[in-house]
Amino acid sequence: MAYLNQNSTDLPLPVRIGLIGSGWMGAFHAESIARRVPGAVLAAIADPNVESAEALARSLGPVKVTANAEDVLADPEIDAVIIASPARFHSSLIAQAAAAGKHVFCEKPAGQGLDELDAALAAVEAAGVHFQVGFNRRYADDFQAAKKDLAAGVAGTPQLLRSLTRDPGNGSIPNAARVPAWTIFLETLIHDFDTLNWFNEGAEPVEVYAVADALVEPGLRDQGFLDTAVVTIRYTNGAVAVAEANFSALYGYDIRGEVFGSKGMVQAGRATETAARRYTADGMSADTPRLNVELFRQAYTDELADFAAAVRSQRDSVPQSSSDVTLTPGAADARRALAMALACIESVKRRAPVAVAGLPTASALSNKAGV
């Protein structure tokens, strides 16, 4: 029997991806592209720490290696880049990648200030390239199931929302002195802000009130290191949200989200590694995930599969299969969550509620919510 469509020229060309930044997250993304994302290949790795890039390349197959991101951006064989450098480089790398005509996946935060991010997003728009930010929680099965329930109205009108991040730890943070100031808002809670915005789709965050402290490493408080924070957020639809984070949960990596509304409640997030439970004379126990790449292995893979599919669709002018709920986090999502993180920093400094910049004012909230 003859097989149809076996001419290799009928197969779409894989999306050729260059990685910029080969540290903890970049290495995992590189491995995902090389081994788990169909239709994508890892073509190049750039890192000023070229030994790190070379070691990664050796483990993943034939991949070009360079110390300079510019080499990847100038490479005509590269369709798209994954930016996983430290956050302070993100906005300028996004702008340079867009100007070079590369589609961009950027780890969060996409920038550290609204001006630099706006310039980068303007470059993305001018170039017409696809842009995605690394808000991976949207791709976790349970968060997607919750989103579908919310879109179907299961919780009714949102009234209270909650999102939390408890990073795994052992009660101390050995590299805390090297963690950039305000990381808890700019790099950790920014995930929670996106989750809350996504769960409360259609409403805008208006005002935040943030309280933060160094409770895990109190000795570093005077240096400005913050490891524990709680944020209340008011939205234009009147809903009130709480986001909280801590850098040292002894029991593992704990990520949860919740929406309580006029008809009920929807929850996402699980503190256990699998659904298995052990029942013994001592009671019940279960394994817990210890690393982000354990808990979010599937989500990290799926966010890149979504990115590669979008790039292929745009490059080859073929329709991309659509999700039944809003999924891909893009420019507006990156900006909205960053604006919230920046407002939180201001709120901690002033010890007062702060309006979220560039979004509706607090008086808009009063009018809408009738308070």
Ligand X SMILES: NC(=O)c1ccc[n+]([C@@H]2O[C@H](COP(=O)([O-])OP(=O)(O)OC[C@H]3O[C@@H](n4cnc5c(N)ncnc54)[C@H](O)[C@@H]3O)[C@@H](O)[C@H]2O)c1
CB of 261 to ligand X, least distance (A): 28
Say whether residue 267 binds ligand X (CB under 6 A). no
Residue number of the CB atom closest to ligand X: 23
| Strands of the sheet with 64-66, listed across from one edge | 64-66, 40-46, 15-20, 80-83, 103-106, 131-133
Output 68 or 170, the one with its CB closest to ligand X. Answer: 68
Quick check: 25 binds ligand X (CB under 6 A)?
Answer: yes
Region binding ligand X by CB under 6 A among candidate stretches 22-30, 195-203, 270-278, 325-333: 22-30
46 binds ligand X (CB under 6 A): yes
- Counting residues that bind ligand X (by CB under 6 A) gives 24
Q: Which stretch binds ligand X (CB under 6 A): 45-53, 204-212, 331-339, 351-359?
A: 45-53
Of the candidate spans 42-50, 172-180, 198-206, 353-361, the one that interacts with ligand X by CB under 6 A turns out to be 42-50
Please list the alpha-helical segments (H only) found in 87-245: 90-99, 114-127, 141-151, 183, 190-199
Of 96 and 236, CB closest to ligand X = 96
Give whichever of 185 and 209 is closer to ligand X, judged by the CB atom: 185
Which listed residue (84, 189, 305, 339) binds ligand X by CB under 6 A? 84
Count Cα neighbours of 159 within 13 Å in the Cβ-side half-sphere: 8
Q: Select the residue interacting with ligand X from 22, 96, 328, 347 (CB under 6 A).
A: 22
Q: Could you tell me where the DSSP H helices lie in 66-113?
A: 69-73, 90-99
- 101 binding ligand X? (CB under 6 A): no
Residue choice 11, 12, 49, 172 for contact with ligand X (CB under 6 A): 49
Which 277-316 residues touch ligand X, going by CB under 6 A?
292
136 touching ligand X, by CB under 6 A: yes
Task: Fill in the per-residue mask, 153 to 192: x = in contact with ligand X (CB under 6 A), - = not in contact.
Answer: ----------------------------------x-----
Cβ proximity to ligand X: between 20 and 94 the closer is 20
Point out which residues pair with 231 in neighbouring strands: 210, 243
Q: Is 107 in the site for ligand X (CB under 6 A)?
A: yes
Segment lying near ligand X (by CB under 6 A), choices 18-26, 57-65, 197-205, 248-256:
18-26
Per CB under 6 A, 48 contacts ligand X: yes
Closest distance between ligand X and the C-beta of residue 56, in Å?
A: 9
Contact with ligand X (CB under 6 A): which of 17, 18, 21, 337?
21
User: Using CB under 6 A as the criterion, which residues of the chain lie in contact with ligand X when the complex forms?
Assistant: 20-26, 46-49, 52, 69, 84-87, 89, 107-108, 134, 136, 187, 292
